Structure formats: structure tokens, C-alpha cells
Amino acid sequence: MTEREAIMRVHVIAADINTLRSSLSEFRALVAGGVQPSRDGRVGIDAYLNPNQLERVRGRSVEVQVIEDATATAAARQAEVDEGNPYEDGSLPDWLGDLSGGK
């Protein structure tokens, strides 16, 4: 497995939609979900940024809240996945029920 650059999941908050858009427009960042308005009138969106992008966004007129290291979370989830085929012996999982097609 090759070493990957860490990708952070962040929540970017701005005073208004135009500030939010201009702060993220130069980055080809993956955003998640839609724009979320807050009670105080500000708007935010979740985004996935590499360290360089994160540093550059922090230099703008937005608030950036780091939610998680998405790369580390993905690696942890991948480690939970079994390797191999648990039904290699031809058995079927119990939750499939009767596969007779109702006959």
C-alpha cells in the first residue's frame, strides 16, 4: 500500500454564501451535502481538503472546523472488512431465508 496524503473532513463556515463560494472556488475540493444555514445567519458546508488546501482556506475570511482525518477513518473502516469469502464452502447466510422461489 502506498503512502497517501491525509485528507481532512472539515466544516467551512462563512458570513454569507458569496464568501463561502469565493473561499472554496479555487480549490477542486469535494464537498459533502448542501449548504447549511445556521441560526446566526452564517452558512457552512462540509468539505474534504488536503493539508495544503486546508492551510490556504484557513487564511481566508471563513471559520474552519476540522471534523476528522478522513484518511485515517477510511483506513480504520477498511481494517474492519474481512478478507476472504465466508461462504467459500458453498453455505448461504441464514438471513437469506428460503430461496425456493415460493414453490
Give the count of domains, the chain.
Answer: 1
Secondary structure of residue 68 in the 3-state scheme: strand
Q: Render pLDDT for 83-101 as a digit per residue (tens, 0 to 9).
A: 788 778 888 777 766 666 6
- Say which CATH number the domain at 60 has: 3.30.70.240
Q: Render pLDDT for 2-52 as a digit per residue (tens, 0 to 9).
A: 466 899 999 999 999 999 998 888 877 889 889 999 999 999 999 999 999
Is residue 88 domain-resident? no
The range of the structural domain enclosing residue 17 comes to 8-77
C-alpha span between 67 and 58 (Å, rounded): 14
